[in-house]
Structure 1
């Protein structure tokens, strides 16, 4: 396969379209969250992931799992957790069964901010997808995202 192979070119175009869609969505969500809640898209994602934890077996995520969920390195996730902890939105505590493990919980303030920001996030996401759906190169990707949502939340 060469760099000018039509299959490779199509793959590169697909990847470029996916990157473009992601960038537009992230930019729209970022602007809306910053303007309305002084929260970045990554901060929102982290609060959202951590808010879904629960007490009991397998209820708390390890930092590696959190990093995977928000698509950041472990060190970047730790820095993000520290920033949100400094703002009083998260708290950390030692795992009761493994003193090497540190868990992170969303505080009441963090939960309130997340709930206030959720409609902003969802509206910005919907608007960005609707705008992208009007562009021929991005429309198939938007349909794929909607198909994924339909599989998770059937009508």
Structure 2
């Protein structure tokens, strides 16, 4: 049992659920980080950024501004900008000016970024499945895992 486990067990009031959610997130994030770094030299945040940006399209509202990207990957705008720069330096992303508003800057995933994302997606999905299965065996986390599974089912259906 870790110190974090002790906090979850000892929490009272509204805190136990929050601490359990934080514990679940931390465990999943750490498992994803190890799997993606080990197999693809890609952090979990980098993967998330590539995934979010890969769903952009050329239609109305299809490209995300940096503040929208930051919100989607749950980082500050400055941290998102640094992350974009790192991936741009690796040739995985490219920035360009918005054609209708020269003040706006958009970011697209390059072909190399899409190829890496395609290679990393099975690793990500398998690691996520492993982390959820392991967390589901913990009675404190099982209800949260069940909620995630229901959300996954709703997103697919």
- Relative to the length of structure 2, the TM-score reads 0.92
Q: How many residues align?
A: 147
Residue 7 of structure 2 aligns with which residue? none
1:38 aligns with 2:60: no
Q: CA deviation at 1:56?
A: 2.2
Q: CA RMSD in A?
A: 0.9
Structure 2: any 5+ residue segments left out of the alignment? 1-10
Shift of 1:134: 0.5
Match in the other structure for 2:123:
120
Provide the C-alpha distance between the structure 2 equivalents of 1:153 and 1:104, rounded to a whole number of angstroms: 27
Deviation at 1:11, TM superposition (A): 1.4
Where do 1:80-119 residues align within 5 Å? 80-119=83-122
Unaligned runs of 5+ in 1: 1-7
2:64 is the counterpart of 1:61: yes
Q: Give the distance between the partners of 2:63 and 2:124, measured in 1 at CA.
A: 24
Secondary structure of residue in 2 paired with 1:150? helix
Find the aligned partners of 1:80 and 1:14 in 2 and give their Cα distance.
31
Displacement of 1:151 in angstroms is 1.1
Distance 1:117 1:30 in 2: 12
